[in-house]
Every structure is written in structure tokens, then in C-alpha cells.
Structure 1
Amino acid sequence: MQSPVEKNKSPPRLLPGDAERQARLQKMVGLRSLRSHCSCLRLDPDAEFHDVIDCSALFELPKVSGTLRDGRPATGTLA
């Protein structure tokens, strides 16, 4: 159990460069993690790569199915 003095302690104040230093440290930790995961990847010389990425699915409207409130069948797309 904490004493009343410990409960009322405010968190330590950050010095002017501490926030930036902490952000850099988190970025370095993330990069190290990424490097360690990437080190196990191997290039496949027989892999097929495509220059064009089809993003049309991102822009398609969802299909409507079921029935409307008045009982009519719903068909088509949302507009």
C-alpha cells in the first residue's frame, strides 16, 4: 500500500529534450524489431512480381441484398 505522500507525487516532469529522445528511442526499437524479422526473409528469384496493383476493390460499392422495409427485394449497389 502506498503512503499518502507517494500517492500525491506528480509524475516526473520531462526535460525539454526528453520527449524527442523518447520518440527516437521508440523508433530505434521498432527498426531493430523490423530488421530482426526481415533477416529471416529470403529472395525468391523465381517469384513473379507485378508492376501494377489492382486497387479497384477499394473503390467498389458494397452489394445490397435482402429486403427493404416495405418488403421489396433489394438489388443493386448502394448509391
Structure 2
Amino acid sequence: MYYVYLLKSLIDGKYYVGHTDNLKQRLERHNKGFVVATRDRRPLVLLGEEYFNFRSEARFREYTLKNNTNERIKFYRKIDKNFIK
């Protein structure tokens, strides 16, 4: 199973979207500073995730969220009820 996940920084309140096949391990790597994109924004909390059977589906969803503002806003609102644009 593959996941597209949404993290939120407790430092600056910014969001991060990624995909993985091991959600627990990936969150750990983010919070230990092994992920360059989120290293300076730790700690991060997992707000939610979507599940996919194939990696290609998860990668496409991640790509869509990172490149389509409307889809990204819908995803943020679905997962984080406090999201305000």
C-alpha cells in the first residue's frame, strides 16, 4: 500500500505533501531532519493521508497536489478543517 500524506510544521504552520510506502518511517525521517525540504521546519505532524494500491497512483496524486492549486486546496480542506486560504 502507498500513501500520499500531508504534514504540517509546528514552527511556521506550512504544509508538506509527499508519498511513501512506509508512513511511520517517513514521518520519523522528516522529524529527524533527514529530509532536506522539511529539515528547517521541524517538528512536523501528520494531518492525514490517502491510500493507493500502486505507487504510480500515489506519485500521480502527489504530482497533482503539488502542481494544481485547486486540487491542493481541496485536499488541505478535506484533511485540515482549520485550513484557511
Same fold (TM over 0.5): no
Structure with more of its chain in helix, by fraction:
2
Which protein has the larger Cα radius of gyration, Structure 1 or Structure 2? 1
What is the TM-score of this pair, normalised by structure 1?
A: 0.20
Q: Which has the higher contact order (CA 8 A, sep 6+)?
A: 2
What is the TM-score of this pair, normalised by structure 2?
A: 0.19
Structure with more of its chain in strand, by fraction:
2
